[in-house]
Chains A and B, each alone.
Chain A
Amino acid sequence: MILTGLIAGGIAFGYEVGSFTDMGPGFVPLMLSIALVLLAALILWREWPMIQARAGGEAAGHDFAWRPFCAVSGGILAWVLLAESTGFFIAAIAQVVLAALALPGPRWRSILIMAGILAVAGYFLFVVQLGVPLEAVG
């Protein structure tokens, strides 16, 4: 499905690198890109009937569960954005709380307590003991 598009996209810049360099650094990536296109095409060809069948079924079937997907991604993103700017505690709490929202039924108290415990324990373990260079509060 879209996947092949994704792979093909990957190959597109494969060509770029492959063609502009003197055969050296671009050579192997180019070969690999070609191999990948061929394989992707072959898979698509062989699974075409199945994919069509599934596409029909999926429209009728259940929707993709966006809530947990966004919560987990959002949690990690929060960490990425906050860890170096606002410091360890805020980043850790934001990450844990966001991720925990993935499952319905907000039990705010227990989530917050857990986030707090994780943040404090994590701080002592990783920052104090293992020397990960992050500020407690940015």
Chain B
Amino acid sequence: MITVLRLFTLMLLAAFMAGCNSEDNVSAGGVDAWPEKPVRVIIPFGPGGLADVTMRLAGEPLGELLGERLVMENRPGAGGVAATTTMLNADADGYTLIVLTNGTTIAESLFDDLPYNITEDLVPVSAVAWFDLVLLVNPDSGYKDLQALLEARGDNLRIATINPGSTQNLSAELFKSLASNSATIIPYRTTPDVLGALLRGEVDLAIDAYTALKGAIDNNQVTPIVVTGEVRNPAMPDIPTAVEAGITEFFVTGWNALYARKGTDPAIINRLNTNIASVLATDDIRTRFAELGVEAHANTPQEMQQRFLSDIEKWRRVIEAAGIDPL
């Protein structure tokens, strides 16, 4: 019964807090007083995805540290355009934040006329989570490593990924250009569809986020042969990186990061940044993130900015090389 009681306390607490917020709108104080009311965090995805779950997990202790609740707001759709537009309608007062992902850097080159310019309209606060992609084969196929697969399937290699324009799909394009020029990339709607395709054996290789397929990997339904990080994934120390497997220049690390409106007081950004860093350093968050297959890892706004710019450049080249026209 203890758990029940705890849940009810939680619910009561939530109801109480919700009740308070609406009257709390009397704000005026300066930076020192921030935050005086709950902070909105806009998530450009539907609920339940990686970005959503990690942010909700980290948001709870972060809210405790800041002394105000973080309210998650899902604005899915249109590759983040809907979310970013909402963000741009908010004031630069630190009460509205947005989660961006490496997908944002892809969108910069993939879309012709975005109604905003991320680097001019937003500023980074800190990274939240990092994750690798994995290259997977069907265990029944018998391929133990990448070289064996490439030799055996060579020109007929079939790669399953999720939809065009995703990190996974463009990573496959990158892989194709570096390792197997005549491979066919077959897009599927969702990660479970990709998994199904690999299980049925209708494709040779799947490229997807480790997180998404962690379950299948743990169950030995699929076999990882390469991770795309620059170093090996601590969860799978036996699996080589792409560079080790002989494909130099093939590294992809996805990330989720928190951004604020440009013009937000640097002191607020600073405070957020240090608090995120300490939340992400706690054992609880680290293990929870690890269970999801992602790494909890903060950085400085400057580091984040560099990363953002270099990723834009990287995907721009991939998109050009793959001959994808901007939309």
Chain B residues closer than 8 Å to A128, beta-carbon distance: 15, 18-19, 22
Prevailing SS type, chain A contact patch = loop
* Contact partner, B22, options A131, A133, A136, Cβ 8 Å: A136
C-alpha spacing A128/B15, complex, angstroms: 8
B68 at the interface (CB under 8 A from A): no
Q: Mark A101-138, 1 if CB is under 8 A from B, else 0.
A: 00000000000000000000000000010010100100
* B18 to A, closest residue via Cβ: A128
Query: B23-45: which have CB < 8 Å to A?
Result: 40
Q: Mark A68-89, 1 if CB is under 8 A from B, else 0.
A: 0000000000000000000000
In the assembled complex, how far is the CB of residue A49 from the closest CB belonging to chain B, in whole angstroms?
47
B73 at the interface (CB under 8 A from A): yes
In the assembled complex, how far is the CB of residue B283 from the closest CB belonging to chain A, in whole angstroms?
29
In the assembled complex, how far is the CB of residue A96 from the closest CB belonging to chain B, in whole angstroms?
21
Chain B residues closer than 8 Å to A133, beta-carbon distance: 40, 71, 73
C-alpha spacing A128/B22, complex, angstroms: 9
C-alpha spacing A131/B71, complex, angstroms: 9
C-alpha spacing A117/B71, complex, angstroms: 27
C-alpha spacing A63/B40, complex, angstroms: 51
In the assembled complex, how far is the CB of residue A89 from the closest CB belonging to chain B, in whole angstroms?
11
C-alpha spacing A74/B19, complex, angstroms: 32
In the assembled complex, how far is the CB of residue B2 from the closest CB belonging to chain A, in whole angstroms?
25
Chain A residues closer than 8 Å to B15, beta-carbon distance: 128
Chain B residues closer than 8 Å to A136, beta-carbon distance: 22
* B73 to A, closest residue via Cβ: A133
C-alpha spacing A136/B19, complex, angstroms: 12
C-alpha spacing A133/B73, complex, angstroms: 7
C-alpha spacing A95/B231, complex, angstroms: 57
Chain A residues closer than 8 Å to B19, beta-carbon distance: 128
In the assembled complex, how far is the CB of residue B98 from the closest CB belonging to chain A, in whole angstroms?
13
Interface centre among B15, B22, B71 (most CB of A within 10 A): B22
Chain B residues closer than 8 Å to A131, beta-carbon distance: 71
* A123 to B, closest residue via Cβ: B22
Chain A residues closer than 8 Å to B18, beta-carbon distance: 128
C-alpha spacing A128/B40, complex, angstroms: 15
Q: Mark B33-72, 1 if CB is under 8 A from A, else 0.
A: 0000000100000000000000000000000000000010
Given contacts A128-B15, A128-B18, A128-B22, 6 further A-B contacts (CB under 8 A): A128-B19, A131-B71, A133-B40, A133-B71, A133-B73, A136-B22
Q: Which residues from chain A sit less than 8 Å from chain B, CB to CB?
A: 128, 131, 133, 136
9 interchain residue pairs of minimum CB distance? A133-B73, A128-B18, A136-B22, A133-B40, A128-B19, A133-B71, A128-B22, A131-B71, A128-B15
Q: Which residues from chain B sit less than 8 Å from chain A, CB to CB?
A: 15, 18-19, 22, 40, 71, 73
List 9 A-B pairs, Cβ < 8 Å.
A128-B15, A128-B18, A128-B19, A128-B22, A131-B71, A133-B40, A133-B71, A133-B73, A136-B22
